[in-house]
């Protein structure tokens, strides 16, 4: 089971935060919000909670795409995620109701810079999928 949502660019997106990244349903972002990588996110909090519950013990792959660039990261799910306005992915293991993922492989500042620049201009697509690890028998 995969989960996808869209969000929009904003001229103040800098994607410079070293510890987290965030998608918000808010329409505006200040320059101080350097973890925000997308605004006006259309995620359904209930469906996202179902995704988290169904994949609670799996690593998750997140692909962030615009029409000109993309990047991906991996994280552990927080099955207690419950926020209806924001999704936060953290490199640390700090949990809150806004935290969807912890122990992430990337924060906003680690995203490819061509993607970070396009987050100011292009519509953003985000896809979450359980990470399938190859195992040898």
Instruction: Give 56-97 pLDDT, tens digit per residue.
Output: 888 999 999 999 999 999 999 998 899 999 999 999 999 999
Phi, psi dihedrals of residue 49, rounded to the nearest 5° = -65, -40
Residue 119's pLDDT is: 97
Q: Which residues lie closer than 8 Å to 95 by C-beta, 6 or more apart?
A: 78, 80, 102
pLDDT of 12 strictly over 90: yes
pLDDT digits (tens, 9 = 90+) for 20-64: 999 999 999 998 999 999 999 999 999 999 999 899 888 999 999
Residue 137's pLDDT is: 53
Residue 37 near residue 108 (C-beta atoms within 8 A): yes
Structural domain boundaries of the chain?
3-130
**Residue-wise burial string across 112-127, b where 16 or more C-beta atoms lie within 10 A, e elsewhere:** eeebbbbbeebebbbe
pLDDT digits (tens, 9 = 90+) for 110-135: 999 999 999 999 999 999 999 876 55
Portion of the chain with pLDDT greater than 70, in percent = 96
- Asked whether the CA dihedral 108, 113, 116, 122 is positive or negative, the reply is negative
In angstroms, rounded to a whole number, what is the distance separating the alpha carbons of residues 119 and 10? 7
Q: Model pTM?
A: 0.94
Residue 98 near residue 87 (C-beta atoms within 8 A): yes
Q: Which fold has domain 3-130?
A: Jelly Rolls (2.60.120)
> Which strands sit side by side in the sheet containing 3-7, from one edge to the other?
3-7, 124-130, 59-65, 70-77, 99-102, 86-90, 20-24, 36-38
Portion of the chain with pLDDT greater than 90, in percent = 88
């Amino acid at each position: 089971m995969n989960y996808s949502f869209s969000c929009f660019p904003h001229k103040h997106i800098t994607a410079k935060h070293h510890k987290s990244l965030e998608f918000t349903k808010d329409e505006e972002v200040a320059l101080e919000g350097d973890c925000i990588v997308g605004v006006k996110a259309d995620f359904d909090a209930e469906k996202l909670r179902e995704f988290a519950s169904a994949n609670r013990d799996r690593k998750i792959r997140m692909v962030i795409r615009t029409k000109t660039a993309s990047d991906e990261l991996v994280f552990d799910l927080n099955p207690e995620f419950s926020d209806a306005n924001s999704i936060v992915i953290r490199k640390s293991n700090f949990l809150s109701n806004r935290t969807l993922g912890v122990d992430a492989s990337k924060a906003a500042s680690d995203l490819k810079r061509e993607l970070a620049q396009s987050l100011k201009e292009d519509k953003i697509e985000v896809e979450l999928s359980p990470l399938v690890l190859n195992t040898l028998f």
